[in-house]
Structure 1
Amino acid sequence: MKRTRYRWLMLGLIVTLIVINYIDRSAVSYAIEPLTKAFGIDSAQYGLISSAFSIGYMVFAFTAGPLVDRYGPRRILLIGVVIWSVVTAVTPVSGSFAGLFVLRVLLGAGEGPGFPAATRIVSRWLPQKERGLALAMVGGVAVSGSLLIGGPLVTQLIAGVGWRGMFWVLALLGVVWIGAATLLLRNTPQDHPRVSAAEREHIAAGQTEEERGRAEGPARIDWRAVLTSRNLWIIGIGYFAWGFMFWGFMYWLPDYLGKQYHLSISAVGLFSVAPWAAGVVGALLGGVLTDRVFARTGSVRSRFVIMGVALLLSGASLIPIFAAPSLTVSVVFISLGVGLGFVTGGIWWVAAIDAVPSQPGVAAGFADAAFALSGIVAPSVMGFIVSATGDFSSGFVVMSALAVIGAGLMLTCTRAPRRPTGTRTESEEHQPA
């Protein structure tokens, strides 16, 4: 029987979801001026509103994991997208600081289940040797790509339909995704009537016994397995380290370029594109490299090595910025650091599945909560450093140091998990039966 490829349709739905997710969460930053004027919000209040999203996101990214494992990712995703689409639509009429603060917390809550649910979809629809590229698309390309296209898209919408209309159009995108997912998205290959037996066999052959055993029905949450997993804790620390760099540059890069090198707004926008373009390349490279190494070795330990080396090089790339700063040096080496960091972009999710394969949603929620925590800490720490010193260099030193610490843990302290039963290397798959 011919092997169908519905697993890639599921991946396409998830990648589209993450793109909409990131555009929606960042849209408010492009409407700062009209929004603050309309609601009478000052800069300090806007800073609190920015943190509100990460607070809601961190809490619900972690709590969504058990819900995803118990009730399935499809149901949780649909509920989450309904919440964040409604919140996006109501944002232009929230009317005050308090109203906007609450809505941003709710937006974080609605978007929190996204990555834990995406991880479970990938773990149930793809064999291990295909997950590196798949999760690089989800956690790397979709994220950095959305930051590349989000700015031009949102600013054009504001110019065309006004800042309020922009939010309503983005809410409509969520509604469109809900319709498509209702028709097409399923929790497992067994749930989809059009998936061929050959494709189901291909997927099952590359899964662990735990994953195959839990492919159907609600899963019991084994908190002990999650909280005692040494590898998962190291993943959380490493993801926090990378997240500190990611969120630090996401919030402070435009301000750094503008103040440090006296660039115009248009020039800042031009130079800010380079790091996220490098992120797309890095994420694709990381996904391809992870899959190829795993296909040849069958060793899940290889994922930690790739992440550790990439994180180490990413941190080292920032050294020239505070050692011998110039506009060219800053743009080139920030782009290099972000690009190398994004090599790990999708592997965190693969490693989380490997660490606790029986609890993929909970493990992903744990990792995502660590990343979200860095989204609260990094902007505040960077802001304190800039306010106290009048310079960004110390902030870059912190980024580099955290990356080196995270890399060191991943390269030296992780345990080599047992090779998954039933998983074959690429060479074994091509041998005759």
Structure 2
Amino acid sequence: MNPTYQPRRAWLTAVLLFFFLVVNAMDKMVVGLLAAPMMAELELTPAQFGLVGSSFFWLFAVSGVLGGFLANRTPASRLLILMALAWSLCQIPIALSSSLAVLIVSRVLLGFMEGPAAPVAIHACYKWFPNNRRNLPVAVLTQGAGIGIVLAGLLIPAVAAHWGWRANFYLLAVLGVLWALAWLALGREGTLDQPPAAHGATGTSAPQRLPYRVLLSDPTVLGCFALRLAAYWGLALCLTWIPAYLQSGLGFDHAVSGKLFALIVGTNLPLTIAIAWCSERLLARGVSSRLARGRVSAGMLLLAGGFFLLLLWPDTTPATRVALLVLACVCAPAIYSLGPAMLAEVVPAGQRGAVLAIDASVSSVAGVLAPLVTGVLVQNTPGARGFELGLALCGALMVVAALAGLCVVNPERSRQRLAAQLPADVQAGQPAVAAG
């Protein structure tokens, strides 16, 4: 055990970072949960509101990569405080203004400042926990995002019902400031940070690098990108349009729709963990990664797409439609845990970080397109049908991506293929592409 490991201080840090991601998730959710009252008061068309929803993601991926590099050179504590305060500042203009331009600019800036949140939080947590103790605290703190979505679904509609939709942006501004004050009082920079070589070591000193054109043309890599992109399309709709669908499309009031949305999101948290655990058990029993990870993730996405497509079935009751939404949103997230594991299997250890960042950037394209495309469909199709066409389009994308993933994702084959393309002096040593 590392003699400088301080369990109580380390876990206090993990709890603080958990709440950091709770606030982060609520900031993402607020606009989608307030779609109906904002569109009514500000006289926004569905296409305009879709533009507001998508604007959050315009710079999200870029700032995520930039923030990751910045965290290597700047204390994580400083970055965390700056982000929390910046989030608070970005909420105020939305609360005060009725301008579409102000809404978009504020959401673009908020997305830029929130892009690095999760990687910087994990980086800060790593500085307190030695390598052999990092899995559990990071698993705990990353659940903050899911809990934040559930809390947003319960709290934001209730606040809007009592004090108006603008009050939510003031509330989120206060929460960001309170978190920053709590971190100033209790948070500290960790002392157990390890050099980069300790995180991705493969047991050999030989260089293991391939041209990115080779890595990014590998079928398994492309298949993982496609699976995550399709899943993220569904997540973007969940953040932007599902609350409005529950209210304007299915006729639930604001409070009930918030509770239903919390149910939709909250149900997937335990199942996502259970799927990842089952996949690990299959691997431990000798099942190939192609089956335990690739086909499980593609199969779950195929189910999610099918449930979204069933929303077009005629004469379906609102309760059945809610059940289909729950099932679709439960099945889709499996790729978020299994996809990165497959990418880590096939790419050289020294290039995993870059490939994972590219994976996240590719999927964020869906965050830009999905709200806008669905907004156009809602605007041009009356009633619930416009929402259902947007969700069915998402389902079709999921089905296509899942079928492609079932055909091309094969981590074992890709690992051998990429290892064969490494320089001969690397191949002469230990296995070149680690399977970890």
Same-fold status (TM-score > 0.5): yes
The count of residues paired between Structure 1 and Structure 2 equals 401
Residue matched to 1:241: 230
Q: Which residue of 2 aligns with 1:380?
A: 372
The aligned runs of 1:71-150 (5 Å cut-off) are 71=74, 74-93=77-96, 96-118=99-121, 120=123, 131=135, 141-150=143-152
Equivalent residue, structure 2, for 1:49? 52
In the TM superposition, residue 410 of structure 1 has moved relative to its aligned partner by: 3.6
Report the counterpart of residue 269 of structure 2 in structure 1. 280
* TM-score, normalised by the number of residues in structure 2: 0.72
Q: What is the CA deviation profile of residues 117-141 of structure 1, one whole-angstrom value per residue up to 9, with x for unaligned ones?
A: 345567785869975x7776566x4
Summarize deviations over 1:332-386 as a string: whole Å, max 9, x none.
2221111111333444455555556435654443233233221221122223334
Q: Which amino acid aligns with 2:333?
A: F
Q: Which moved further from structure 2: 337-346 or 413-422?
A: 413-422
Which residue, 23, 27, 40 being the options, matches 1:24?
27
Q: CA RMSD for the aligned pairs?
A: 4.4
- Which stretch has the larger CA shift, 34-43 or 298-307? 34-43
Q: Is the 8 A contact 2:46 2:376 kept in 1?
A: no
Who is 1:216 aligned against?
none
**1:320 alignment counterpart:** 310
| TM-score, normalising length: structure 1 | 0.73
Distance across 2 between alignment mates of 1:298 and 1:321: 35
Partner of residue 329, structure 1? 320
Correspondence for 1:219: none
Give the match for residue 366 of structure 1: 358
Of 338, 358, 364, the residue aligned with 2:329 is 338
My pick for the range that moved more, 306-315 or 234-243, is 306-315
With 312-321 and 4-13 compared, the bigger mean Cα shift is at: 4-13
Task: Give the SS at the match of 1:55.
Answer: coil
- Contact 1:356–1:363 at 8 Å: present in 2 too? no
Residue number in structure 2 paired with 1:172? 174
How far off is 1:241 after superposition?
A: 0.3
Decide whether the 8 Å contact of 1:119 with 1:364 is kept in 2. Answer: no
Q: 1:151 aligns with which of 150, 153, 162?
A: 153
Cα 1:7–1:307 shift into 2, 3 Å: farther
**CA distance in 2: counterparts of 1:363 and 1:188, whole angstroms:** 28
Q: 1:414 to 1:137 in 2, by over 3 A?
A: farther
1:310 paired to 2:300: yes
Equivalent in the alignment of 2:420: none
| 1:228 pairs with one of 178, 191, 215 | 215
Structure 1 331/49 Cα, relative in aligned 2: closer, same or farther at 3 Å?
A: closer
Q: Which moved more, 1:294-303 or 1:88-97?
A: 294-303
Structure 2 CA distance, aligned partners of 1:374 and 1:280?
22
- Cα deviation for residue 242 of structure 1 reads 0.4
Q: Distance in 2 between matches of 1:260 and 1:239?
A: 27
Aligned residue type for 1:344: I
Secondary structure at the aligned position of 2:350 is classed as coil
Partner of 2:241: 252
Deviation at 1:394, TM superposition (A): 3.9
Distance 1:66 1:376 in 2: 23
CA distance in 2, matches of 1:188, 1:228: 35
